[in-house]
Amino acid sequence: MKCNREGTSLVELLVAMTLLGLVMTSLAGLTFDTARRSVIVAGNGYMQGVVTEQVNRLAALPFASLPSAAGCTNVTTGVFPHRRCITVTDITNVRRNVQLIIQPAQPGLFPDTSNLVRWNPPATNPLFTP
């Protein structure tokens, strides 16, 4: 007795669909992980830009106006919402420590802290005597 088989059976179709489902699930997980990592990398890039901008601003401020820069600010506009806190502490009469903390609002990013020591040189150089 010869059996004439044309096409595929239901069992073969179910096996093929199961294998396809497993492959697609693995690819979806990989795509999700890649997208999450790219968002974190982009957020770190924005954060480094904000830190660089703020450190440059604090370095350019006159020594006497540093205490007025202290405080916390919430930035909700733009592509990188964050909370920025600046503290200024006197080390000596002519030296101040400026601490900048950037706390991103985006989950998955960690806060970044920068310390800047500013000093106010004397008006005359005691080592230089004409």
Contact between 95 and 113 (Cβ < 8 Å): no
Q: Rounded to 5 degrees, what are φ and ψ at 40?
A: -65, -40
For the chain, what are the domain ranges? 10-119
For residue range 16-66, what is the model confidence (pLDDT) as tens digits? 999 999 999 999 999 999 999 998 999 999 999 999 999 999 999 999 899
pTM for this predicted structure: 0.70
